[in-house]
Structure 1
Amino acid sequence: MVKEADVDISQDAEDTQTAGWILVNPRILIGLIGVVACYGWLFLMLGTSVFFPLADPEGLISGGAHLAFVGGVCAALAAVWWLSDALVAHRMTHFVIAAACAVAGTAALWVLRGQPGLLWAPSLVAGCGFGFLSPLYGEYVCLFFHGSLRVYVNGIFAAAALACVWLLFISEALLFAFAALFPLVALGCYLIVMHLFDLRERSRASRAQSDQRHRIVWRSYLATATSGMAAGYAVGCILSTQTVHDWPYIIIEVMVSATCLLLLYDSLKTHRVTESVTMRWFLPGSAIVVFPLVFVPEPLVVIFALLLLCGSFFPTTCSLSAVCKHIVICDLSAVRAFSFGRLMSFLGIALGMVLAFAGFTAGSVAFFGPLVTPGSVVVFMLLVIFSASFVMTEDNYPDEKRFKRVESDGGGRSPSPRARPSASWTRP
């Protein structure tokens, strides 16, 4: 017997697909606002020093706080992946853990702003909050936007980037208060939609079923980790040389927003930015962009770092939409599959930030000497070249055509997704 909650969710999803990508259903729009706030929170935590107002001149304390946030995200995503069955069965407990970590971490960042040496601890807790919350929103996107995943993923990134632009127009005294609204809005919106759609009662694949249907190959995770490493390296270079109110941040915000809007336009009109195309161009391109960092003076580092950051949005959004599509096609446990895919991305971000902080922070250069900067660049380029030798050989993410080809060749068992009112895929 079909549950009433399932009927409501399917009807809402059908209304969304009928209306195109512009939403008219206010209940679904609440969740979309929450997703945008969640990723806006991530952009602010990773790409700015707004949550760390007393960053030290040498960059060691601020860099450590940013790395602690990424470490917290990785730990939480790993926990969600490992405990997926229990967390799906106790959704309210999952949400309460995310809310407790996010609120406690953000509040402690404000309370401890006069003790910069302790900022890493609340940053770690805040990272756990994001790591627990993001798989819930990943599942929400798969449930309601499965007909146009690329459009919605790119739209979410564009809206989050535009929301962060308001930092440029707010006084320094109000920066933290503005940034703290993002996690609060993300938590509040999910609590509302969890009640509206009764997501706790939604039936899902178990851990064993999901792992059996899982078809993403290891090259896909390598590509995801490499794009994350590029983003982390770019962010680390920017954080090592800039603060929120430096004039280059105006260019950074404008360029990041323009890149996300370009991706949104492509997903709506041209459809040229695919996972395979972006990785074939992005990997060698990132090495070309990073190589001049060995020679350029410090004021110009931000320019090449910005180019690398904007380029990293192409494979990052592609991998995010691809893993969501894979969840829908193969009827996976969304919480489990999404958390593992994002874990690979944040492990790459952590590695990239470590390399950038080691090569460009004033404290690191003073301790290790001037050769640490070219060493950082060389190690990054070697890792990119290593990844490119595996990733650029073929398309990495499975899709409907590949499923049909495998089935016609007799080369495997096709997945068995649930029937859903979506025009974007058919049962293989």
Structure 2
Amino acid sequence: MRLSALSRLVRLSLARERKGAFFSAFGVAVGVGALVFFVGLGLGVGRVIRERIFPTDARLVDVVPPAVSLGSLLGGGKLDNETVERLAALPGVEKVYRKMNVRVPAVSRYEGAFFGSRLRMGMEVLAVGVDPGLVEKDVQLGAFKDSGPDQPIPAVISTRLLEIYNKTFAPARKLPQLSPQMIVGFGFPVEFNRSYVAQAAPGPTTAAQAQVVGASDRGLLAGITIPLDTAIRLNKASGVDGETFTGVTLVAQDPSQVSRLVAAVKEMGLEIDDQERRLAENAGAAVTLTTSALALLSILICVLAAVNIAHALSASVRARAKEIGVMQAVGASRSDVRNIVLAEAGVVGLLGGATGTALALLLAFAINRLAARYLPDFPFKPDSFFSFPWPVVLGGVALGLVAALAGAYFPSRRAAATDPARTLAG
């Protein structure tokens, strides 16, 4: 049968059974629309978790000394210069960045102008020193290095800390919101080996001025990131350990080599600090589980829509038995009859799948607009809660077609098996 004749017969049949076709397409649209909507929501939330809340680089491996181990009791398991050299020599390591916490407490007492407002505040400060290469791409002012005790300390702020400040701290205290560019050059006093709540080390207190030189995803979340040489100098000045490192960040040549690096690091008696990675994985798993449950419900709706199509087409085939018999009597083959029924279902499925997908996209657009207008700003609030890559959109339309054809399979076989002589005689 030619395509033009097939399309004409399908159009006439659907026009005659428009009510049944409408309800069949509606069922497909509900199932497909729900599936596309929830999958898009899950992908969007997952993207926010991976890219904004817990941004991770697949090539980074954070090495830390073991909390307690026999090796450390016997003098091993320490992150000293010798251990760093061994780590750098591991196969697959491209770069090595050392880290050292400032091992004494620190406070900042600030009083004065703060970007057009007046601020008076005292707070505890955490500081970690890192090799400049770890954050140098985010440094916007000067060089990220120790310039001596009489010069300001270059400090990098975490972009996530800035996000939390803008969305929670600033609105509550009527302070201005800040961008990474605005804070570059801002200075504030810091006193090392001094604390409001903890006991200080026996050494002297070191007063310094910190100057913000940039904001980075790799910065310390709850403190400031300073040059490694500065952290070493401050620790030695306070009489605490300035030789061993708090951590080492390894950059693998390729993400596929990370697992081998992790195994090699553990063989050296060291540990991997993957707390943020585990948090990201746990949050992602929760989102995936919820999305999967809702997607399963949507697929069940599609299955019910397929059953409804099967029921509607079975009734249609019974009602059109004589018509089918006449078609066969004038030369239509069994495959022609089967193709007519499948084509009717295919049109219903395509219309239902396309409509459901379009409605899901429109609903997501409306929710994003309402969220932007009525939801208050909160940390890491995304511009869009949804993500619809093209495989999801095309997959929704294809699912509607598959569901309809699956429902039409048995009715089409029944229609093709019609005996024209018996049907016309009866």
TM-score (norm 2): 0.22
TM-score, normalised on structure 1?
0.22
The structure that has the greater radius of gyration is 2
Structure number having the greater helix percentage = 1
> Looking at both structures, which has the greater relative contact order when contacts are Cα pairs under 8 Å and sequence separation is at least 6?
2
Judging by fraction of residues, say which structure has more strand. 2
